[in-house]
A and B are shown apart, each in its own frame.
Chain A
């Protein structure tokens, strides 16, 4: 029985690559299309793991894709949550006022006193609270959409192990 390859390598490659891309302003707009970057992260992780599995002559199934997609999505969440928060803070974007504007634009109603209290707390905590909130949402979304991408990748790239082939062909019959 062959040893299954490690999931960490494909999950790390995909999670870090997409996490960095997802934290860069403008590029992270791709996530506006149904979190396409995160789904792509899980999908790429599944593809890389399917290649490793094929090389090790091990079956690659949808469940493997989901697992590696989940891990890649979580790595994506950590990278993009921290890096994205730092980049947003450095560029002066993503402050609490923008969040309030988005809530108001959506039409959701919040008690003004509650909103003022939260605003006061957010401003007193500096940018750290925004980074932590961003990290939380990045982790949740990374887990959900990374798994979906991994599931799709698991279905697209699934493969059964090849049956063992005979390395030595039978000797030809003696001539004469």
Chain B
């Protein structure tokens, strides 16, 4: 599936790790918001508002794992979880994993079709199916993000290294 898998220097692990932790916290907040709200905490409502700009938050379209509807819809939850898992995989593997672009098109197609079907009033997926379909799309986007981060760190660390004569020709 991968087009190329490059070894990244050890120094490049810090930035992907920090981004992965941030992504994990962001994804955890999706579950944390209803959990806090179920315990009558004011923070639950505020945390839900944080996710508002990126999701419609219609309760019927959100997964519920026992504390009430999550802070984002099932599709967004799948995208967030997939992205976080991919960033985690990239960080653990400590190397760039870059799938062929055709895969992005293939995994995006079901989500795009489902979204379009919902907009024109055709029958669309249920919440669980929406979550499962969005998961690989989020995972691939996360792999590309991880690849981009590793490359940026690699290029910058190479340019900052005074002993390194191998400069990247950026034009």
Contacts and interface: CB of A to CB of B under 8 A. Distances in A.
Interface of A: 1-4, 29-35, 53, 56, 58-59, 61-63, 65-66, 102-103, 106-109, 137, 141, 145, 148, 151-152, 154-158, 161
B55 A151 contact: no
Given A34-B55, A65-B148, A161-B169, A156 B104 contact: yes
Contacts of A145: 54
Contacts of B141: 152
Contact of B169 (A56, A59, A107): A59
Contacts of A1: 169, 171
Interface in B42-61: 42, 44-46, 48-49, 52-57
B79 interface: yes
A59 B52 contact: no
B85 interface: no
Contacts of A34: 54-55, 75-76, 79-80
A66 B170 contact: no
A59 B57 CA distance: 41
Given A56-B171, A58-B171, A155 B148 contact: yes
B54 A31 contact: yes
A106 B170 contact: no
Contacts, number: 100
B129 interface: no
B2 to A, nearest CB: 12
A102 B48 contact: no
Contact of B145 (A53, A61, A148): A148
A176 to B, nearest CB: 45
Contacts of B147: 62, 155
Interface in B23-58: 37, 42, 44-46, 48-49, 52-57
A109 B36 CA distance: 13
Nearest to B151: A62
Nearest to B114: A33
Contacts of B111: 33
Contact of B48 (A32, A66, A108, A154): A108
B139 interface: no
A160 to B, nearest CB: 9
Interface string B68-79: 000001011001
Contact of B151 (A31, A103, A155): A155
A109 to B, nearest CB: 5
